[in-house]
Structure 1
Amino acid sequence: MPQGLRRAGRHRPHGRLPGLGRRPDVHQPDLCGGRRLDLRRRLAGRPKAEGAPAIRSLDDLLAVADPAWPSLQREIGHARNPVDVLPPAATAGADLHRLQVSLRSTLGAIVYQTGGLLIDCGWVRLLGSGSDQLGRSLVSWNLTCGLAVPGDPLLLVGDDAVGGLFAINAGRFSGQPGEVHYFAPDSLSWESLGRGYSDLVTFLLNGDLADFYANVRWNGWETEVAAMAGYQAMSLYPPLWAKASETDERSRRPVPLRELVGLAGALKPLS
């Protein structure tokens, strides 16, 4: 069972998944390198570089010998944390083709086979092809946030009830492409989790989320989070990055997540 991300001090998460050994991740999507560069050239109207990979058809993305979904289904069925699997949208195939990830990847499986995952009473939302409950898909959420799909060096893949964001690094940050970074609302900073998307999913399903979110949850959060829409997050005052005795002493109200992300400056250009 994976160990949780541990928060050092009152605000700052540790930024690693210490209990998960780095494994060859056959389900890790190719969101950087040659394919991303090729798609950027196409979007910009530039000729494709010789030898660059071509855009794959939806049939090619679906026709894989070892799809990730069956093993992911088993993992969800035995998950330590409660999980709601939302049904996929009619646009699942179009979203998969736009992302250019196959069903061999965990990301492809979640986008094509689900509308998204609601984990731990809806505290964490992993994005799929969208549903009424979430009010957005992975692709539409990135576009709403001003990120190109494909072509942007950052891909938002999930978020939490207090405005934390999970994103795959495709060149925006230093470090390994494909690693997941987390925007922590209690430190207003992006931090590498040191692992890829598949390991993130495993941690969210089975890890100690109570420990990871120990400094930001309040008594009775389950009821308040369950009442929020899937496109909302809880705005707290004083904000999580400001000094306060306890999270319970902060006032709370649900607001659109896009509003909270904008106020936090999570997606502002890096200097």
Structure 2
Amino acid sequence: MKSINELLSDDSAWVIIEQWISKANKPIEILEVNKSRAEKELVNLQITTKSPLGAIAYKTGGILFDNRWLRFLGAGNDNMERSLSSWNKMDINSKCTRLDGAMLIADDILGGFFALNGGAFEGKLGDVYYLAPETLKWESLNMPYTNFLNWAFTGDVFQFYKTFRWEKWEKEVSSISGDQCMLFYPFLWTKEDSVEKRSKSIVPIEEIWNLTIQNSSIL
């Protein structure tokens, strides 16, 4: 296992990420993280800060995009207690045990989950896959983490989610923590009503994950 000094790079990807932050075309929150928590997270992950994923884990508690609609995991913070290692239930060998063969890196208010392919899905290793709440199927975004992160800052997130936005969604979503999601009923995968007509409640993201995995194995 590499030490923290071996994982910290003089050529940190954070320099590039700061450029993306300055060009962000939507509201973002960079969650603060204390040094001890950041160092522990980096050692748990065994990822260098030369990579964008390692830089995010070391420099942030996570990042909330577009009024907290989209959440990228980091080292954890009071507004999002989950870290990359804790949410993925990493073992002592830095293996993700929540989703075998993949690392969960981000999620959204709808209960959609983003993961890096490490062999769990057919397709290119290292690409980002999305577990869509309306289909309960993993879909490739055909891009690696770096491109996905850049898209979150400067891309058209609205277009990606436009059919799931409701009137005054910003006010509702911006008050939700990074450890919570919206539970819609009827469920989004039933396709019975528009999002506007469905009832909504705020629930822990763990509940959404369990519900999603349970139902995806049935459908």
Flag whether TM exceeds 0.5 (same fold). Answer: yes
Deviation string for 1:89-144 (max 9, x for gaps)? 4311111112111110000110000000010000001010000011221111112x
In structure 1, distance between residues paired with 2:109 and 2:201: 11
**Contact 1:261–1:267 at 8 Å: present in 2 too?**
no
* 2:62 corresponds to 1:116: yes
In structure 1, distance between residues paired with 2:124 and 2:37: 31
Change (3 A) 1:76 1:266: farther
Give the TM-score of the pair, scaled to structure 1.
0.74
User: What is the number of residues matched between the two proteins?
Assistant: 211
* 2:97 corresponds to 1:154: no
In structure 2, distance between residues paired with 1:177 and 1:94: 26
Give the alignment of 1:80-229 within 5 angstroms. 80-89=25-34, 90-143=36-89, 148=91, 150-152=94-96, 153-229=101-177
One-letter identity of the residue aligned with 1:117: I
1:74 counterpart (6, 15, 19): 19
Q: How far did 1:65 drift? A: 3.6
Identity across the alignment (%): 39
Structure 1 ranges of 4+ moved more than 4 A: 266-269
In structure 2, distance between residues paired with 1:125 and 1:195: 18
Give the TM-score of the pair, scaled to structure 2.
0.91
Higher normalized helix content (fraction of residues): 2
Q: How far did 1:69 drift? A: 0.4
Residue 248 of structure 1: aligned partner: 196
Q: How far did 1:66 drift? A: 1.7
Rg comparison, structure with higher value: 1
Give the unaligned 5+ runs of structure 1. Answer: 1-54
Give the unaligned 5+ runs of structure 2. Answer: none
**Contact 1:183–1:266 at 8 Å: present in 2 too?**
no
Partner-residue secondary structure (3-state), 1:195: strand
